[in-house]
Amino acid sequence: MTAPATLTPPPGLRVLVTAGAAGIGKSIAEGFAAVGARVHISDVDADAVSATCSDRITGTVADAANEDATRDLFGEARETLGGLDVLVANAGIEGPTGPISDISAGDWDKTLDINLRGAYLAARFASEDLIASRGSFIGIASVAGRLPFAYRTPYAASKWGVVGLAKSLASELGPQGVRANAILPGIVEGPRIDRVINARAERLGLSYEEMRERNLEKVALRRMVSPDDIAAMCLFLNTPGGSNITGQALSVCAGVETL
């Protein structure tokens, strides 16, 4: 096989993307569908699920942190797809912004429940299918999963956890042919980062524009990345060329070295 031929995912992959009806998740789902995969998504927003579904994308309304809902999601996906080759555990929220002394236990728990418990539940219910197909787990983490992130401790803790989950799955399931990796997006264009920038700006008494520029000063390329950049890495990890990549935390961040 020539090198260029190794950069195309095999046709007919069966893919599940949690929180796949908006933002990064939607780009991932549509990216896989565009190269011939059959994709099943979940999301809590029924209207967004309906709007994202197409001839190659089916969907289920489900809360990623709910055990029963996630069990049912995988049952529906299994019935629809006939199995599973790729799981992208993407569900996540930004969580609160503030000093640790102001972070309530409820906000902490909600962030960890969706971001980390959700990834664990998805991995748990997908594991038998991925072993059967010698498939691939991808956890969507963040550069906050390799760097300290002051005033965003619940988010950072959850994303460090996603990295640990992916690396541990790589070790545990590797002998059975399953690969597991985490992707660490940097500052991703979209409504979520706008909310984060606004919250941080308000706390520091800055304008949105000033806060945005401060953030980009920490990025080597001085730009944000796009959801499609994250989707491209997901696709690459499921090509023949990516078949020996496992247990890795892969940053797609334009060169973020501090937060």
From the candidates 120, 151, 155, 208, give the one annotated as an active-site residue: 155
Give the DSSP H or E segment for 118.
Answer: helix 118-133
Q: Judge whether 155 counts as a catalytic residue.
A: yes
Q: How many CB atoms lie within 10 A of CB 102?
A: 11
3-state secondary structure of 86: strand
Take residue 100 and report the two structure tokens written for it. 């640790």
Residue 212 to residue 196: CA distance in whole angstroms: 10
3-state secondary structure of 98: coil
Residues 142, 166 contacting (CB under 8 angstroms): no
User: In terms of Cα–Cα distance, which of 118, 165, 147 is closest to 253?
Assistant: 147
Positions marked catalytic:
155
